[in-house]
């Protein structure tokens, strides 16, 4: 299965290579991955998926590279899955410039806008593009996560699921639920342009569905335009095992260093939402300085996730949302995940 981000980058290059340099696209993609990582942990209490998007409940994925170790059907044949299809939209912080570089702001031709209106359209999009992650479904075992406590498969591998750290192929995560959704963008553009899109709303250039929605805003003469640009797929998973101690590590660190932690959060936000390009090296340096100030040991996000989801003290969790830990604990991990994406990224200047 092609990776999510390779697929997204292919999509990006198809639509926006002529409008942005490769380095701009790479940096914009980094900002998007950073924002996704933070959102997955802080909002969904789940591990973000960067490489795959066909994850199933009851399978085991390797934490290091998110590759499938054990199929759900091997250990849980006949497992019945419940799917909650209630739609939820979550704003994904991303600068307007980065969104346009990724092609998320669209191009006039994709919306059926005449060439004569392209410049005006692009100006409007650059001022107002917003990225949104829509969670369209949430899959989990019909009988609850407790069904995962008793694998029904005959394979000897299935007997070693508890905890997944004992799997020979490497520390794994037993998937207890899957979030599936898609990335969309929303732009507020001039009503006259929106009317032009209305006239061609049935067109789907290059197979890209385009929807015009929302009423005109009398004060600004704008309407909302929504474009679906990311294929729908799994973007985050919850684990059947969680170490409460590991979950609380960064919460305690932040609580004991509130001022420094606030600086770290502000630095990450300034990078993700900032319009100025070429600041990655400075942001990395700033993050490392703050980690040193926090006396934070050098630990990669992979190592931390292994402690969180596959350590010997990880407990089976029936409902992640009902863990007896402060809500902010997940926010702290989101910050760590975002910082890790930034410091581990290399972009050719």
Q: What is the pLDDT of residue 2?
A: 41
**Beta strand pairing status for 68-70 and 233-239?**
unpaired
CA 62 to chain centroid, in Å, comes to 18
Structural tokens at position 216: 């005109």
3-state secondary structure 165-177: HHCCCCCEEEEEE
Q: What is the pLDDT of residue 340?
A: 92
Q: What is the pLDDT of residue 92?
A: 84
Residue whose structure tokens are 């553009």: 189
Q: What backbone torsions phi and psi does residue 77 show, to the nearest 5 degrees?
A: -65, 135
Using an 8 Å Cβ cutoff, are 69 and 158 in contact? Answer: no
Q: What is the pLDDT of residue 111?
A: 59
Per-residue pLDDT of the chain (349 residues; tens, 9 = 90+): 444 444 444 444 444 444 345 777 788 888 888 998 999 999 999 999 876 668 999 999 999 888 888 899 998 998 999 999 988 888 888 877 777 677 666 566 655 666 666 777 666 666 666 677 888 899 999 999 889 988 888 777 787 777 776 677 778 899 999 999 887 766 666 666 666 655 554 433 334 444 444 444 555 555 555 544 456 789 999 999 999 999 999 999 999 999 999 999 999 999 998 887 778 889 999 999 999 999 876 778 889 999 999 988 899 999 998 898 999 999 999 999 999 999 988 765 4
Helices (H), 66-145: 72-75, 96-101, 118-128
Q: What is the pLDDT of residue 191?
A: 60
Beta strands, E only, the chain:
47-48, 60-62, 68-70, 81-84, 88-92, 130-141, 172-190, 210-217, 222-228, 233-239, 241-242, 315-316
pTM: 0.80
Using an 8 Å Cβ cutoff, are 147 and 57 in contact? Answer: no
> Apex CA 149: angle with CA 232 and CA 147, to 5°?
60
Structural tokens at position 244: 């409460």
Beta-bridged to residue 234, according to DSSP, are 180
Q: What is the pLDDT of residue 265?
A: 96
Residues 160, 101: Cα–Cα separation, whole Å: 46
Q: What backbone torsions phi and psi does residue 206 show, to the nearest 5 degrees?
A: 55, 25
Q: What is the pLDDT of residue 23?
A: 75
Q: What is the pLDDT of residue 201?
A: 45
Q: Is 343 exposed, middle or buried (0-12, 13-18, 19+ CB in 10 A)?
A: middle
Question: Of 209, 225, 208, 199, which Cα lies nearest the Cα of 114?
Answer: 199
Q: What backbone torsions phi and psi does residue 286 show, to the nearest 5 degrees?
A: -65, -40
Residues 200, 210: Cα–Cα separation, whole Å: 9
């Amino acid at each position: 299965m092609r990776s999510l981000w390779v697929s997204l980058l292919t999509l990006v290059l198809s639509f926006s290579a002529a409008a942005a340099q490769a380095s701009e696209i790479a940096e914009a993609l980094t900002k998007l991955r950073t924002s996704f990582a933070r959102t997955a942990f802080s909002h969904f209490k789940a591990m973000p998926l960067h490489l795959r998007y066909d994850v199933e409940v009851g399978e085991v994925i390797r934490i290091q590279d998110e590759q499938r170790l054990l199929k759900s059907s091997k250990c849980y044949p006949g497992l019945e899955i419940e799917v909650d299809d209630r739609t939820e939209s979550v704003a994904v912080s991303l600068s307007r410039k980065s969104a346009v570089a990724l092609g998320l702001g669209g191009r006039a031709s994709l919306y059926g806008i005449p060439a004569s209106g392209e410049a005006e359209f692009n100006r409007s999009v650059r001022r107002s593009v917003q990225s949104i992650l829509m969670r369209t479904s949430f899959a989990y075992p019909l009988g609850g996560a407790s069904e995962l406590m008793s694998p029904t498969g005959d394979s000897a591998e299935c007997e070693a699921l508890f905890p997944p750290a004992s799997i020979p192929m490497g520390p794994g995560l037993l998937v207890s639920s899957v979030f599936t959704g898609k990335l969309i963008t929303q732009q507020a553009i001039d009503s006259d342009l929106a009317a032009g899109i209305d006239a061609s709303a049935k067109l789907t250039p290059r197979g890209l569905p385009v929807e015009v929605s929302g009423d005109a805003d009398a004060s600004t003469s704008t309407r909302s335009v929504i474009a679906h640009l990311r294929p729908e797929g799994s973007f985050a998973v919850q684990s059947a095992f969680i170490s409460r101690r590991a979950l609380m590590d960064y919460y305690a660190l932040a609580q004991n260093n509130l001022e420094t932690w606030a600086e770290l959060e502000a630095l990450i936000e300034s990078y993700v939402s900032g319009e100025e390009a070429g600041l990655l090296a400075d942001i990395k340096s700033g993050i490392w300085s703050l980690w040193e100030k926090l006396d934070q040991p050098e630990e990669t996000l992979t190592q931390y996730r292994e402690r969180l989801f596959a350590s010997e003290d990880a407990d089976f969790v029936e409902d992640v949302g009902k863990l007896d830990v402060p809500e902010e604990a997940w926010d702290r991990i989101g910050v760590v995940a975002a910082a890790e994406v930034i410091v581990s990224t290399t972009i050719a200047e």
